[in-house]
Every structure is written in structure tokens, then in C-alpha cells.
């Protein structure tokens, strides 16, 4: 007997927007990372630790479901997206939903902190449009832990979930929870309600790791709320640098309306989590050393223990919307006068890469690094350098976050300072995170060698490097995602909500 397959529409828009990043997000940024549809989107995601990796596996093992991938798009965090890019995505997805039906369910892989140069809440706009088009169809969405969720998202959804780890190593599991929830609604008739509330706290993300500290406590408390009447309970930390009216933490409860008493359980869970966020908010505020102090601490650990010692520059972290352009860390490193092996990762400067690639391996040139996109975070640094290695800038992640995902950095160079060859630097053509061992393998770097690693990174770096490093020292250096929010020109977010 042939049973008619159920049909699932899938679309993805994953982007974290930093309103203070001086570089807008363009179509080229999406093309470099992910702009796919149809079978291509699922094939590219196979065996990756991502949301679409979970969708591809679902499509493979659930022969009774027909999975249709509409436009799937993602780009590395950065400045506001050019409105034309989002409009193109929006129009393609809405046309696909309108013309490709009927559908039994829709799953959207979202971030929750996207912004364009014309919209503060593009994801809310998308969800509202989908719900208008398909008023009775089960709709589910997944979100990043740093989502800035407007309360209006809740009534639009039938199922929701979000990352519960930071570093984010549970992307695939998050998507699977949403898919399982949609299947239960379609096949078992489960009735649900999603609520989104704002506890009134804008939490810095520096101390938001889920292995320790206040966010670990919040995640444990959220997990404890799941039970009769509560399908899912989530705490989202938010992303302050998006600078929207909805910037800040949120609590999401997915209620099982068939449970008894669902309303009471959901209300109690929501109140517990909102109270906990407000109570723990002051603990998210931390003090970090400046560049000079952080480097001295790193050098001291290196002298005492050896191994790989990392000093991070979160203020220009590419996965927080940094542009790999701030010069503060390099300037401080040059002032140390150290002669130990040091590696700086990395600057993004296509012009410098082009100049040094033309010089070729062994070529010596004088270049200017950092401070080119904005004068707000310090002046450029001019140095004479020697070209050590040129690459095509393509590698696949081998670490636990986004395992198997291809990263395209554009052409890159590994260089050393002509007068201080113990200091090496990586320069990429496009902004790229240095969070995965594959990035360093691309440049022929032996991570087991004893050295000081100065890296533009934050908490995601720890997913692959916590066990590799003798120590990881975070610093606070001026940049578009710096710790001190008072240095940034907020226009929409209520900065008074920050601890």
C-alpha cells in the first residue's frame, strides 16, 4: 500500500549582526559561506554538525517525509546586512512556500540576532509572512543562544528550540528537537503554545560559557523545567551588539496544551527562569585585563609551563561581528620586546594579501596592518614583513563546532616580521575566525609547538583549544564587540539593562 508522503519545507537564515561593525554584510559574504537551495543544500550539509546536517539525516532516514530545502543562507557575523540581500532571500522563500505546497510542516533555521540596514527584526518579519501565508501549518524554528527574540515571535510558532551550549556544539541536536516537535504535532496531534518573554537584562557574552558560571546554572534550571506541560524551556542570552529595541535575554517556553495542568506548569517555569536571569545578571559582568597586561600574563605562563598559550582579543572576534582590523593587540605585542615564538591570528586585508602574494615566498615588503576600516579603535601599525607561505584560504573544520563545514578565507598569507622573525602573522583576504585547528593546518602551523598565540577570538575558540592550551587569557581591547559597552554608540537598545 502506497501512503502519501508528508511534506516538510525547510529554509535557513543564520546571521548575527553587529551594528558597530564598520563593514556591511553583502551578497558576497553569503556566497562565500552558504547560499544554496534544493538538493545542493542538503548534500553540502551531510555529516556536518549543523542544523542542516540534522535535516539531511532526517530526510535520509524518514522515507515517509518529503523534505524540500528552499533557500538556505548563512554568513559569518558582521555589520548590518544590505537590505537587498535579505529581500532576495525573503522573496525566494515566500515564493517557494506559495508555489511548492501543500505542506504538512515548515522548519526555519534562524539565528535570532540578524539585522539589516533597514530592519531591526528581519526574522520576525519572515515568520509573520510565513504565518500569514500558511495560517494552519505547524511552524517550527531554531535559534542561536545569542538570539534577541521579540515577544511577538512566540504566537507565530508551534515549536521552538535553541542552542544550549556555548561554544555552540549542539547545532544539529537543536534542529533535531524542532523536527521531533513538528513530527509530534503532525503525526500525533500534539497541541503546543510558544511564549517569548523578556526578563529585562542585557547580558554581556564574555562570561556566558555553558561549561561554567551563571549560564551553566541557567541552562541547568531550564532543563529542570521540562516535564508534564512543558515541552521545552530555554534561556537565550542575547547579543548586545545588534543594538535593537529587543536586544537582551529572553525566556522561551513551549507548552503542551494537552497536559494537565499545562497553564500552571508553563507559568511557573517561565517565572522561575525570568527570576533566575534577573538574579544572576550581575554575575555576567566581568573584568578583563588590557592588551599589555594580558600579554604579560601569557608570557609568564609560557615561561612557567610552556605549551600553547593563547591570549584572545574578543573585541574584534569575527564570530561577534569583528572585522579583523583592530590594531591594539599587535601594537601591544610589539611593545613587549619578547623573543619567544609568537603567532598573531589574524588580520583581514585583501590588499595586503595581494601585495604579499605577488612578492611570493621569501619576499620582503613593508605593509600597514589594522586600523584601516575605522579609526575608532587605534591607528594602523606599519611593519616590514617576510612572506613565509601563501594559501588558497580553503579548509574544513575538524574541531567540535560546525565539524565538516568548509570555510573560505580568500587567499591568505603567513608572514614574519623582518626585524623580529619570532613573530608570525596570518593575513586573510576575507574575515575568517581562527577557531578551528583546520585554519592553522592550512598555514602549516604546528599547534603542538610551544608558543604564544594572539588570536582574535572569544568563547567559541575554547571548543577546539581549551584542552590544547596551557592557558587561555581573555583581554579587553577596543573593538566593535568590546567588553565595555559604554564605549559603543547605542541607538536602540536600553543600555541600562546591562549589569
The three grid cell numbers given for residue 166, joined into one nine-digit string: 556555548
Over residues 373-423, the pLDDT tens digits come to 998 999 999 999 999 999 999 999 999 999 999 999 999 999 999 999 999
Task: Check: CB of residue 372 under 8 Å from CB of residue 432.
Answer: no
311: part of which helix (H) or strand (E)?
Answer: strand 308-312
The pLDDT tens digits of the residues spanning 18-30 come to 999 999 999 999 9
Rg (CA), the chain: 23
Which region, left, alpha or beta, applies to residue 42 given φ > 0 means left and ψ of -120 to 50 means alpha? alpha
- SS3 (DSSP) at 397: coil
Q: What is the mean pLDDT of the chain?
A: 96
Q: Is the pLDDT of residue 3 over 80?
A: no
Distance (Å, whole) CA 181 – CA 186: 9
Report yes or no: 385 and 353 within 8 Å, Cβ to Cβ: no
Q: In this predicted structure, what is the pLDDT of residue 405?
A: 94
Percent helix, strand, coil in the chain (nearest 5)? 35, 25, 40
Starting at the edge strand that comes first in sequence, how are the strands of the sheet with 105-110 ordered? 34-36, 65-74, 6-14, 105-110, 139-143, 159-162
Q: 131 near 150, Cβ under 8 Å?
A: no
Going by C-alpha positions, the residue among 291, 302, 363, 304 that lies closest to residue 330 is: 291
Do 145 and 236 meet the contact criterion of CB atoms below 8 Å apart? yes
CA distance 380 to 399: 33
pTM for the model:
0.95
| Cα distance from N-terminal residue to C-terminal residue, the chain | 62
> Could you please report the per-residue DSSP string of 290-340?
-HHHHHHHHHHHHHHH-SEEEEE-GGG-GGGT--S---HHHHHHHHH---S
Question: Of 153-162, 232-241, 359-368, 487-496, which range is least confident?
Answer: 487-496
Which run of H or E residues covers position 29? helix 27-33
SS3 for 40?
helix
Cα distances from 419 to residues 302, 303, 339, 422, 428, in angstroms, run 22, 23, 11, 9, 22
Percent of the chain with pLDDT over 90: 94
In 3D space, the residue among 121, 99, 74 whose CA is nearest the CA of residue 9 turns out to be 99
**pLDDT tops 60 at residue 336:** yes
What cell was used for 176? 533535531
Burial bucket for residue 304 (CB in 10 Å: 0-12, 13-18, 19+):
exposed
When pLDDT is averaged across residues 228-245 and rounded to a whole number, the result is: 96
Q: What is the pLDDT of residues 268-296, one digit of tens each?
A: 999 999 999 999 999 999 999 999 999 99
Q: Report the C-alpha gap between 239 and 251 in whole angstroms.
A: 14
Q: What pLDDT shows up at residue 262?
A: 66
The candidate with the shortest Cα–Cα distance to 377, out of 499, 297, 476, is: 476
> How far apart, in whole angstroms, are the C-alpha atoms of residue 463 and residue 465?
6
3-state secondary structure at position 427: strand
| For residue 251, pLDDT beyond 50 | yes
Which three three-digit cell numbers place residue 232? 521545552
- Note the pLDDT tens digit of each residue in 147-197: 999 999 999 999 999 999 999 999 999 999 999 999 999 999 999 999 999
Contact 328, 477 (CB under 8 A): yes
Q: With 90 as the cut, is the pLDDT of residue 41 above it? A: yes
The three-class DSSP label of residue 385 is strand
Confidence band for 499, pLDDT divided at 50, 70 and 90 = confident
Contact 104, 8 (CB under 8 A): yes
Residue 420 buriedness (CB in 10 A; 0-12 / 13-18 / 19+): middle
Q: Is the pLDDT at 134 greater than 90, yes or no?
A: yes
Using pLDDT thresholds of 50, 70 and 90, give the confidence band for residue 2: low
At 1 the pLDDT is: 42
The C-alpha cell at 291 is: 592588551
The C-alpha cell 558582521 sits at 78
DSSP structure class, residue 16:
B
Amino acid at each position: 500500500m502506497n501512503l502519501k508522503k508528508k511534506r516538510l519545507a525547510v529554509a535557513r537564515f543564520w546571521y548575527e549582526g553587529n551594528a558597530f561593525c564598520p563593514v556591511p554584510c553583502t551578497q558576497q559574504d553569503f556566497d562565500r559561506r552558504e547560499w544554496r537551495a534544493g538538493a545542493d543544500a542538503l548534500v553540502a550539509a551531510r555529516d556536518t554538525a549543523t542544523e542542516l546536517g540534522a535535516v539531511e539525516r532526517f530526510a535520509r532516514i524518514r522515507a515517509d517525509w518529503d523534505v524540500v530545502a528552499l533557500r538556505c543562507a548563512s554568513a559569518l557575523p558582521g555589520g548590518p546586512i544590505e537590505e537587498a540581500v535579505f529581500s532576495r532571500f525573503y522573496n525566494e522563500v515566500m515564493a517557494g512556500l506559495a508555489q511548492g505546497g501543500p505542506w504538512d510542516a515548515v522548519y526555519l533555521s534562524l539565528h535570532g540576532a540578524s539585522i539589516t540596514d533597514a530592519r531591526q527584526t528581519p526574522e520576525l518579519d519572515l515568520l509573520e509572512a510565513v504565518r500569514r501565508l500558511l495560517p494552519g501549518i505547524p511552524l517550527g524554528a531554531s535559534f542561536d543562544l545569542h538570539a534577541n527574540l521579540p515577544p511577538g515571535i512566540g504566537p507565530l510558532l508551534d515549536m521552538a528550540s535553541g542552542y544550549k551550549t556555548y561554544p555552540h556544539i549542539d547545532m544539529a541536536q537543536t534542529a533535531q528537537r524542532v523536527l521531533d516537535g513538528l513530527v509530534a504535532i503532525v503525526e500525533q496531534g500534539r497541541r503546543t503554545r510558544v511564549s517569548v518573554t523578556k526578563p529585562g537584562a542585557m547580558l554581556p557574552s564574555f562570561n556566558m560559557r555553558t561549561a561554567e558560571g551563571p549560564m551553566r546554572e541557567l541552562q541547568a534550571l531550564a532543563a529542570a523545567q521540562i516535564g508534564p506541560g512543558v515541552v521545552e524551556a530555554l534561556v537565550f542570552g542575547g547579543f548586545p551588539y545588534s543594538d535593537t529595541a529587543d536586544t537582551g535575554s529572553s525566556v522561551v517556553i513551549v507548552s503542551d496544551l494537552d497536559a494537565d495542568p499545562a497553564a500552571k506548569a508553563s507559568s511557573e517555569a517561565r517565572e522561575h527562569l525570568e527570576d533566575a536571569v534577573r538574579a544572576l545578571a550581575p554575575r555576567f559582568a566581568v573584568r578583563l585585563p588590557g592588551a599589555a597586561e594580558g600579554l604579560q600574563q601569557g608570557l609568564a605562563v609560557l615561561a612557567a609551563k610552556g605549551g600553547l598559550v593563547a591570549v584572545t582579543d574578543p573585541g574584534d572576534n569575527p564570530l561577534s561581528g569583528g572585522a579583523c582590523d583592530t590594531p591594539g593587540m599587535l601594537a601591544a605585542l610589539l611593545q613587549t620586546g619578547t623573543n619567544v615564538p609568537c603567532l598573531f591570528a589574524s588580520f583581514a586585508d585583501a590588499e595586503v594579501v595581494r601585495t604579499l602574494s605577488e612578492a611570493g615566498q621569501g619576499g620582503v615588503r613593508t605593509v600597514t596592518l589594522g586600523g584601516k576600516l575605522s579609526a575608532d579603535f587605534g591607528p594602523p601599525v606599519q611593519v616590514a614583513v617576510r612572506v613565509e607561505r601563501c594559501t588558497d584560504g580553503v579548509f574544513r573544520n575538524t574541531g567540535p563546532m560546525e565539524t565538516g563545514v568548509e570555510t573560505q578565507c580568500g587567499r591568505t598569507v603567513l608572514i614574519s616580521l623582518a626585524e623580529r622573525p619570532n613573530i608570525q602573522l596570518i593575513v586573510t583576504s576575507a574575515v575568517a575566525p581562527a577557531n578551528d585547528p583546520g585554519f592553522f593546518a592550512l598555514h602549516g602551523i604546528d599547534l603542538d609547538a610551544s608558543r604564544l598565540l594572539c588570536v582574535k577570538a572569544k568563547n567559541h575558540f575554547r571548543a577546539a583549544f581549551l584542552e590544547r592550551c596551557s592557558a587561555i587569557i581573555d583581554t579587553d581591547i577596543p573593538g566593535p564587540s568590546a567588553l565595555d559597552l559604554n564605549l559603543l554608540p547605542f541607538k536602540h537598545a536600553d543600555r541600562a539593562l546591562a549589569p
